[in-house]
Amino acid sequence: MPPRPGSPLPAALAALLLTATPVGAEPIAPADRRSGFDQMGPEIQAMQRDEGANPGMLAVADGAELWTAPPVSGRPSCAGCHGEASGSMRGVAARYPAWDARTARPIDLHGRVNACRREHQGAEPLAYESPDLLALAAFVAGESRGMPIAPPDDLRLAPARAEGRALFEARQGQLGLSCATCHDANWGRRLGSALIPQGHPTGYPLYRLEWQGMGSLQRRLRNCLTGMRAEPFGYGAPESIALELYLATRAAPLPLETPAVRP
């Protein structure tokens, strides 16, 4: 709940509110960028490294089955068009969000999966955060594990990238916080008992212990906005895609870790 009028703010939160992030300030320099994995305890790091212990690998296995399963329309499966994912999908997730010529706007990996279902498989799109969409995205992204994040250098993406940066730096919600207040100006410090990461999207979809399941980057963004007492953007909304695009640009060239494990 928001603090009661006249009640003192917790010291850690008050410090964040007083931290000014200059408009237009440069993001974290490439040499200083760190994955949230680096700030995890040894138990979680070990869980992520070990495919037999990483719970996100169950979603990857489900995605592998969905990759070869033909849709009810009788049209080809994903594998029927793309073949072995180990070859055709290598590096693909590292280049999303990308420009979608059909809709003339940016699209993220989840949106691309659903676009393929509609246009090439005659199938209904999968709901955001549904197990099947998360599984397919995790399977495809897993084929780029270890590869550097490399968002397209496409001028058509420039307006959305600029919008994403503006959203990242804008103070919003009842607490007047911005994404940059925590993840640029205060990373490495603590907010209560939680260590503040740089906020790079290196492992999505990922398994979050708090959720006891898989989740997308957009789910995490909505969680953050709710924590700032701000109105969260809808799944698939232009603002959500713009933020994803800027975050990918901000994170490059860190390697993809999908499926990551986080607290």
- pLDDT tens figures, 86-117: 999 999 999 999 999 999 999 999 999 999 99
Mean pLDDT, all residues of the chain: 91
User: Does 179 qualify as catalytic in the annotation?
Assistant: no
pLDDT at 193 over 90: no
Residues 206-259 pLDDT 10s: 999 999 999 999 999 999 999 999 999 999 999 999 999 999 999 999 999 999
β 206-208/261-262 pair status: parallel
Catalytic pick among 78, 179, 182, 224 = 224
Q: What value does the mean pLDDT take over residues 52-77?
A: 96
Other Cβ atoms within 10 Å of 250 Cβ, number? 26
**Contact of 49 with 209, CB cutoff 8 Å:** no
* The pLDDT of residue 25: 56
E strands of the chain, at which residues?
A: 98-100, 105-107, 190-191, 194-195, 206-208, 213-215, 261-262
